[in-house]
Amino acid sequence: MDLFLAGKHALITGGSKGIGRATAELLAEEGVDVTLVARDPAALAQAADAVRARRQVKVVTIAADLSREEEVLRVAAEAGAVDILVNNAGAIPPGGLGSVDNETWRKAWDLKVFGFISLCRAVYPAMAARRDGVIINVIGAAGETFPANYIAGAAGNAGLMAFTRALGKASPADGIRVVGINPGATATERMEMLLRRRARDEFGDEGRWLELCQGMAFGRPGKPEEIAAAVAFLASSRSGYTTGTILTISGG
C-alpha cells in the first residue's frame, strides 16, 4: 500500500533507539526525510546510519535535551519545516507515591510531558500557516491502566492523552491532525529495564525477567516495528480523517 509519504519531512524525538528508531527506519522506507533528536550524539549517529541503510533519504540528527525549553526551541528552529512530528522522547521512572520524590517526578515530566507539549507549541504555528501537518504523540498505555507502582508515568500519560485529544479536536480548523498512540509492553531497552526491576522485586532475581513476558498477549511483548507501522499509517493521507483520538496497541 502506497502511503503517499515520499518527500515529506518527519521530526522524531527519542529517535536513536526503540520505537523512535523503528519509526525512522520505516518512514525512510516510505521515502520520508527524517530529523532524529535524542541526547546522545553517538547513538544518534548509529541510528542515522541504520536509517540510511534502508533508503537514501535525507537524515539529520540533533543532539538535545528536550526537558529544557530553550533546547526545544533550538530543535524546532534547526529542523525547519516539519510535515510530521513524532513526539516519542521520555522515560518516566517506576515507583509508587512514596518512592518517587518531587525532584524525580518533576524532572521526568519536564522531558516526557512538558517536552511533548513544548515541541507541539513550537512546531504547530508553522504547520497552521501551511494548513498542513500531522502530530503523533507516542504516549503509553499506563495512561489508561493506571498502575499504582508507576504512578508518575500513569498520571503523566493520562495528561498527555487529554492534551492530544483536546488539541486534536481543535486542529482541523488549522488543517492539522493530532493523534496519539498508547503502546503496551514493547520490546525495547526500557522494557527490559522495567521487567528486570520487577523480576528482582518478585523473584529476587532480575535475570528471570523473560518469565514475566509469558503472560502477555500472544506470549510476547509488542515489537517496535509494530508501533512504527501504526505511526506511518496515522501520518499518511490514508488516515486523513483521524484526529483527536488515541490508538492503543497492547495486544488486547
Active site residues: 150
Half-sphere exposure (Cβ direction) of 6: Cα atoms closer than 13 Å: 7
Please tell me what DSSP assigns to residue 169.
Answer: H
State how far the Cα of 238 lies from the Cα of 234, in Å rounded to an integer.
8
State how far the Cα of 1 lies from the Cα of 17, in Å rounded to an integer.
26
Long-range contacts of 64-70 (CB under 8 A, 24+ apart): 64/37, 64/38, 64/39, 65/39, 65/111, 66/13, 66/37, 66/90, 66/111, 66/115, 66/118, 66/119, 67/107, 67/110, 67/111, 67/114, 67/115, 68/110, 69/118
Residues 6+ apart with CB under 8 A from 126: 81, 82, 133
Cell for 75? 530543535
Q: Do 137 and 90 touch, CB atoms closer than 8 A?
A: no
